[in-house]
């Protein structure tokens, strides 16, 4: 009887999780629209990011309480660095909101398609996230400006979710150039997910194996003075990820 109830509850709670996510996002976007019409909207960015972080954290707590997805944070019990470049691999669709719920005052780089989505664009703009739709020079400059203004920057240098049956996609070296120009260290975060949980090979509405699990591991903090040429540093970071991700599975 308990197993039958569990088999009914978990799929229901999984899809309900995305309903909560959508409704919370819609409410936040409606609230952010007036901020975009105000002069000097940048000064409202910290408040918008704080509310977004709170909503993402609430969503994480729901995932945990409903037993749909277990989220483990390894190494995050110590104070997290600020004004740094957080670099993470990107195996699933839940990675970004869960990390933004945990990292201190952090902005991320979002895809140009978000600007065409009325349910996502107002929040991204109000939070001061950086659009990847700008040319490379503007993207680097805007990212450096955010870090120099006191925010941290979250980057997934794979550029998209990890391909099916791959440990890691090739890394783009832009994160290394941003870190060098900003003179900030790079904090590595290793992300592991259970099979099919928001993977690139399946649409988000595809029911994964439940309950799922996501583990975030706080890795090496690489000082700015140790960052060599962007291409060489990207290769070095990729080696860190492959070594760590290939050694343990969940």
89-113 tens-digit pLDDT: 999 999 999 999 999 999 998 877 7
High-pLDDT (> 90) share of the chain, % = 57
Quote the pLDDT of residue 5. Answer: 81
Q: Residue 137's domain spans which residues? A: 2-247
Average of pLDDT values for 215-236?
A: 93
Number of domains in the chain: 1
Question: What CATH number did the domain enclosing 210 receive?
Answer: 3.40.1130
Q: Is the separation of the CB atoms in 114 and 65 below 8 Å?
A: no
Whether the model pTM is above 0.85: yes
- Residue 246 pLDDT class (50, 70, 90 cuts): confident
132-172 tens-digit pLDDT: 766 678 888 999 999 998 899 999 999 889 988 889 999 99
């Amino acid at each position: 009887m308990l197993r039958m109830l569990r088999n009914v509850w978990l799929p229901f709670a999984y899809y309900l999780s995305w309903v909560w996510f959508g409704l919370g996002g819609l409410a936040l976007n409606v609230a952010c629209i007036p901020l975009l019409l105000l002069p000097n909207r940048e000064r409202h960015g910290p408040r918008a990011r704080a509310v977004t972080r709170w909503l993402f954290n609430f969503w994480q707590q729901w995932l945990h309480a409903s037993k749909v997805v277990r989220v483990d944070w390894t190494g995050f019990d110590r104070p997290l660095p600020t004004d740094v470049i957080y670099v993470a691999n990107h195996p699933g669709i839940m990675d970004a909101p869960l990390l933004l719920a945990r990292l201190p005052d952090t902005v991320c780089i979002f895809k140009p398609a978000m600007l065409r989505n009325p349910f996502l664009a107002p929040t991204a703009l109000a939070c001061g996230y950086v659009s990847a739709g700008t040319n490379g020079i503007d993207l680097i400059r805007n990212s450096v400006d955010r870090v120099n203004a006191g925010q941290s920057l979250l980057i997934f240098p794979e550029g998209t979710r990890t391909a099916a049956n791959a440990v890691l996609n090739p890394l783009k070296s832009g994160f290394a150039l941003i870190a060098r120009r900003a003179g900030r260290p790079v904090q590595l975060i290793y992300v592991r997910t259970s099979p099919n949980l928001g993977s690139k090979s399946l649409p988000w509405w595809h029911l994964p194996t439940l309950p799922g699990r996501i583990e975030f591991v706080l890795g090496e903090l690489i000082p700015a003075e140790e960052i060599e040429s962007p291409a060489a540093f990207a290769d070095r970071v990729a080696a860190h990820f492959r070594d760590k991700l290939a050694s343990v599975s969940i």
